[in-house]
Amino acid sequence: MDGEDESLGAVMVDDPAFPNGSVDSDAARATVVGGGDQMDVEAYAALYTGRTRVARLLFIAERCGSEAVQLEALRMAYDEIRKGEDSHLHREVSAKIAGRLGPQYVLDQAWADSVDRRAEQRKEKLENELNGYRTNLIKESIRMGYNDFGDFYYAHGQLGDAFKSYVRTRDYCTTSKHIIQMCLNVILVSIELGQFMHVSNYVSKAEQTPDSLDAVTIAKLRCAAGLANLEAKKYKLAARKFIETGPELGNNYTEVIAPQDVAVYGGLCALASFDRTELKKKVIDNINFRNFLELVPEVRELINDFYASRYASCLEYLENLKPNLLLDIHLHDHVNTLYTEIRHKAIIQYTLPFISVNLHTMAGAFKTSVTGLEKELEVLITNNQIQARIDSHNKILYARHADQRNATFQRALQTGTEFEREIRAMLLRANLIKHESNLKSARKL
Amino acid sequence: MESMEALVAHIEALSAIPEELPHLHSLLKQSEDALRSQGPGLAPLLLHQLDPSKHSLGYLYILEAYLSGPISSDQAGGFLLSVVDFINSCSGDQIRLAPDKFIQVCKRLKDQVMQLQVPLQGVALRTAIRKLQTSSEQLTTIHSDFLLLCILAKSYKTGLSILEDDILEVDQPRDLFLYYYYGGIIYIGLKRFRTALECLHNVVTAPMTTLNAIAVEAYKKYILVSLILNGQVPSFPKYTSSTAQRNLKNHTQPYIDLSACYASGKYSDLEAFIQSNVEKFQSDNNLGLVKQVLSSLYKRNIQRLTQTYLTLSLQDIANAVQLKTPKEAEMHVLRMIQDGEIFATINQKDGMVSFHEDPEQYKTCEMAEHIDSTIQRLMALSKKLRSIDEQISCDPAYVSKIGRERPKFDFDDFDSVPHRFI
């Protein structure tokens, strides 16, 4: 495994396709992933900025299950919070640490109080300003006022209020630039609130602005739309959005998503939902998306393995990625669904070209037992995704070729009976209705 | 007394001449009140003077008047006999002049038979139906009574002769609901689930403006029979009345839950669910049917295995369908092979079952004949359909209504350029 990591690292360093992505963190991430459950929290956190970094750290601390990692995550979250102004979060994290990190990491009451006091003053000042603007009815200033309020609430972790303030700026937007800004703000808050309906709404609003958008904004919107679709379990749409994301994204949207995430989300969703030709055309041959894939070589490799039908190694990569993906704030809920989908796809693709398949060989290719494989195949056959039948005695899977002639006869007869039944029932109903109207007209007379 | 004798004389004189029957009918109608007041006492005497086969109309009126009074239990036996006699011998042409009276008589017969708990004696109603009908497509009120008696007598086969007719003409919607509901029960009793389902389907989808208890009960059975037959409950077809679509499910919640539980395919879950709701099913008198649903789950699961496997050991089958021993699995498989529900062979030496495809090759003469007869039947049906279609499109009421709904042609309609291009 180590040897593989080295070679992958080498590939990445040689590749100049992504000059602004920090090579260090990429390499670090590679080792993180390769190392299985030993996750390098620091490198991971370095990919993000702003509140999402804290949120992700806290998420990891909650889910990881190993105390060392948990404390590491909490320590970094603590440091990060001290740089900001969210006293509420500070209290929460201090309580979670519960003194386990020594005297430096305890609740700093004085700091929290001073932050609160300053916040109170600032809020008052903002309110006064806003009231002034409102009496003067200067649109632009009102917008700025609300915007400042939004920023203020956001920094202090009052997301609901931040959301409202940002939405209020909408009435005072005069140029499409303002609208874009408003949309991006709303999207940012909504993502953190977990309200992805709003995200997709505001993405489409932003995309409808008449002026053409710059590449970075487009990339941001694509990512947001992708996330919204991912949360709505529309994996195919999510995959499309992530794949369309331009390389301009770079590190410009780290308060929401890192380019590595685009590769992972997009790659996995594509594997789970695209068919073979689509996969080749839109993912493997896509120069734009290749840039992203280079950042996470495992995903690139596993997509190539999947396409080249090297399922064992593909599934192995997936298994190695799994513990870390489960710690991802957006993907964790979907990992299992996506994995089953990918696995089913792989099994279907494996059986497709054969008339008969030896289950022992197949189980080897999928690194599972014959009984386990039989169960999986059973489900797929029942759902009519594989046309085959299992010879459980000799452990062979036979492709099933429906007899066209017999099937036609059967269907014709069945259609005939159904038609007959339907017609009789229909005539009866028609007569009943006719009778009803007869009754009515009789009553009228 | 005098008038009664005169009436009897009239009946005797006029019954023989078909042209005079309407005249007799009006005479009888006029003396209806007199008959009612004096009838109960005199009737046995009067009836004795008349011949039920020749003087059917008069006999009917007097009999009806007689029956409108109370009948003591010691008279009951003789009463049954005389009514049955009348039904068997009366002339259809005459009684059809006074169908209401005839139906009243039949109803009294049904009530008496049920009171005496000898439902089998009510079989005469079948003759009554045939005499009252003008065509076999007509549904009378007696239909449902007759079927009810068949069910009570547990002589389901007797009811079949009536059920096999295609019903198209209906007087009272209630008759129809009851007819198909009872019909469904009879077919369930005979285990002809497919036809039972059709009957119940007719009840559920019949046009209705208010929900009725018959439809609710029918829907309960409809769910159960659908599960036994198809393993799932189809959603309402779109021609179902909106009343039924909206309300039926609210009244049949345990059954809806049952079908959801069935869909999961787990025997133990379904068993537990039925156990916990046993009183509800019991009070609906559906427990027997529910138990059949439960045992059909084995069959369904085994059938599913035939779709997936070519060979499978009995042990695996037992595990897959939650049977306790391979022996039980063998019994089930064997029974299903016998019933032609699956095609398989059991190899007892190594406990393996091999499943086969349907061996029907559609090459035999019988199959060709069967297909041919089906085609003939369908052609006849579609001919009928076409004639009905023609009839409807020539119906003045229909044409005037359609004409009103469609706006009159104006010049714009003939404009060759669609509006959006203008």
Distance (Å) from the alpha carbon of B170 to chain A's nearest alpha carbon: 7
Q: How many Cβ contacts (< 8 angstroms) between chains A and B?
A: 98
Q: How far apart are CA B246 and CA B211, in angstroms?
A: 10
Residue % of chain A over a pLDDT of 90? 4
Chosen for mutation from B301, B311, B358 (greatest number of chain A CBs closer than 10 Å) is: B311
Which of B127, B115, B22 lies closest to B83 in space, CA to CA?
B127
Beta bridge partners of B138: B169
Phi, then psi, of A30 in degrees rounded to 5: -60, -45
Residue identified by tokens 């079948």 is: B126
Amino acid at B162: I
Closest by Cβ to B206, choosing from A378, A413, A432: A432
Instruction: Check pLDDT > 70 for residue A21.
Output: no
Kindly state the tokens that stand for A195: 């309200």
Q: What was the pLDDT predicted at B182?
A: 92
SS3 for chain A is CHHHHHHHHHHHHHCCCCCCCCHHHHHHHHHHHHCCCCCCHHHHHHCCCHHHHHHHHHHHHHHCCCHHHHHHHHHHHHHHHHHCCCHHHHHHHHHHHCCCCCHHHCCCHHHHHHHHHHHHHHHHHHHHHHHHHHHHCCHHHHHHHHHHHHHHHHHCCCHHHHHHHHHHHHHHCCCHHHHHHHHHHHHHHHHHHCCHHHHHHHHHHHHCCCCCCCHHHHHHHHHHHHHHHHHCCCHHHHHHHHHHCCHHHCCCCCCCCCHHHHHHHHHHHHHHHCCHHHHHHHHHCCHHHHHHHHHCHHHHHHHHHHHCCCHHHHHHHHHHHHHHHCCCCCCCCCHHHHHHHHHHHHHHHHHCCCCEEEHHHHHHHCCCCHHHHHHHHHHHHHCCCCCEEEECCCCEEEECCCCHHHHHHHHHHHHHHHHHHHHHHHHHHHHHHHHHHHHHHHHHC
Q: What is the pLDDT of residues B108-136, one digit of tens each?
A: 888 878 877 777 777 778 888 888 887 77
Domain A354-421 maps to which CATH number in 3.30.300.30, 1.20.210.10, 1.10.10.10, 2.30.110.10? 1.10.10.10
Q: What is the ipTM of this complex?
A: 0.73
Using CB atoms, which residue from A394, A410, A425 is nearest to B202?
A425
The C-alpha atoms of residue B81 and residue A291 are separated, in whole angstroms, by 98
Give yes or no for residue A14 having a pLDDT over 70: no
- Min CA distance, B378 vs chain A (Å)? 7
Tens digit of each residue's pLDDT (9 = 90 or more) over B261-274? 998 888 888 889 99
Model pTM score: 0.66
Q: Write the pLDDT tens digit of every residue in B199-239.
A: 999 888 888 888 888 999 999 999 999 999 888 888 888 88
Cβ-based neighbour number of residue B372 at 10 Å? 10
Structure tokens given for B72: 């003591």
Q: What is the pLDDT of residue A440?
A: 62
Q: What is the mean pLDDT of chain B?
A: 81
Domain locations in chain A?
Answer: 354-421
- Report the residue from A412, A423, A433 with minimal CB separation from B385: A423
Checking if the pLDDT of B408 tops 70, the result is no
pLDDT tens digits, one per residue of A291-310: 888 888 888 888 998 888 88
Residue to mutate among B362, B364, B376, B400, with most A CBs inside 10 A, is B362
User: Which pLDDT belongs to residue A12?
Assistant: 39
State both tokens at A33: 């992933």
Q: Which of A15-29, A228-242, B121-135 has the lowest mean pLDDT?
A: A15-29
Distance from CA of B67 to the nearest CA of A (A): 30
Contacts of A436 in chain B (CB under 8 A): 173, 207
Q: Which residue has the higher pLDDT, B14 or B352?
A: B352
> What do you get for the CA distance between the two ends of chain B, in Å?
90
Architecture of the CATH domain B309-355: Orthogonal Bundle (1.10)
Which one, of A336, A326, A262, lies nearest residue A39 by Cα?
A326
Residues counted in chain A: 445
Which of A379, A413, A417, A428 to probe the B interface (max B CBs under 10 A)? A428
- A217-245 mean pLDDT: 90
**Which tens digit of pLDDT belongs to each residue from B291-313?**
999 888 888 888 888 888 888 88
Banded model confidence at residue A437, pLDDT cuts 50, 70, 90: low
Taking only the tens place, the pLDDT of each residue in B364-397 is 888 889 889 999 989 998 898 898 888 888 888 7
pLDDT above 70 covers a percentage of chain A that reads 89
Residue of B nearest to A377 (CA): B308
Under an 8 Å CB criterion, which residues of B touch A? Answer: 166-171, 173, 176, 198, 201-202, 205-207, 239, 304, 307-313, 316, 350, 352, 354-355, 357-358, 360-362, 371, 374-375, 377-378, 381-382, 384-385, 388, 397
Q: Write out pLDDT tens, residues A63-117.
A: 877 788 888 888 888 888 888 878 888 888 888 887 777 777 878 888 888 888 8
Residue B33 has pLDDT above 80, yes or no: no
Judge whether residue A133 has pLDDT over 80. Answer: yes
Interface with chain B: mutation pick from A351, A371, A391, A392, highest number of B CBs within 10 Å: A392
Sequence spans of domains, chain B? 1-153, 172-297, 309-355, 374-421
Mean pLDDT score, B355-367: 82
Range name among B64-78, B110-124, B313-327 with the lowest pLDDT average: B64-78
Interface test with B, best of A379, A383, A417, A432 (most B CBs within 10 A): A432
**B209: nearest CA in chain A?**
A436
For A190, how many CA atoms within 13 A lie in the half-sphere containing its CB? 23
Q: B140, B171 in Cβ contact below 8 A?
A: yes
More confident residue, A27 or B380: B380
Torsion of CA A287, A289, A294, A298, to 10 degrees: -130
Contacts of A387 in chain B (CB under 8 A): none
Chain B CA closest to residue A437? B397
pLDDT band at B314 (very low <50, low <70, confident <90, very high): confident
- pLDDT band of B184, cuts 50, 70, 90: very high
Chain A residues whose beta carbon lies within 8 Å of the beta carbon of residue B198: 421, 425
Averaged pLDDT for residues A215-225: 89
User: How many whole angstroms separate alpha carbon A313 and alpha carbon B171?
Assistant: 74
Q: Is B310 helix (H, G, I), strand (E, B) or coil?
A: strand
Put simply, the answer to whether B205 touches A403 (Cβ < 8 Å) is no
Please name the residue that has the structure tokens 């359609």: B402
Contacts of B304 in chain A (CB under 8 A): 382
Q: What is the DSSP string of B196-260?
A: HHHHHHHHHHS--SS--HHHHHHHHHHHHHHHHHHSSPPPPPTTS-HHHHHHHHHHTHHHHHHHH
Give the closest of B206, B311, B361 to A391, CB-based. B311
**Spatial contact of A374 and A365, defined as CB atoms under 8 Å apart:** no
**Quick one: pLDDT at residue B1?**
47
Residue A39, burial from CB neighbour count under 10 angstroms (0-12, 13-18, 19+): buried
Instruction: Give the pLDDT score at A34.
Output: 37
Q: How confident is the model at residue A177 (pLDDT cuts 50, 70, 90)?
A: confident
Residues A432, B173: C-beta atoms closer than 8 Å: yes
**Contact flag B207-A429 (C-beta cutoff 8 Å):** yes
Write the pLDDT tens digit of every residue in B136-178.
Answer: 778 888 888 888 888 888 888 888 888 887 777 777 778 888 9
Interior/surface letters B228-249, b for 16+ CB within 10 angstroms, e for the rest? beebebeebeeebbeebeebbe
What are the tens digits of pLDDT across the range A330-351? Answer: 888 888 899 988 888 888 888 8
| Predicted local distance difference test score (pLDDT) of residue A93 | 85
What's the rounded Cα separation, in Å, for the pair B251 and B204? Answer: 13
Res. A19 pLDDT band, cuts 50 70 90: very low
Out of A390, A398, A420, name the one closest to residue B381 (CB): A420
Tokens of A75: 């320590």
Question: How far apart (Å, rounded) are the C-alpha atoms in residues A228 and A221?
Answer: 10
Identify all chain A residues contacting B381, using CB atoms and an 8 Å cutoff. 420, 423-424
Contact B137, B144 (CB under 8 A): no
Kindly state whether A340 is in contact with chain B, defined as any CB-CB distance less than 8 angstroms: no
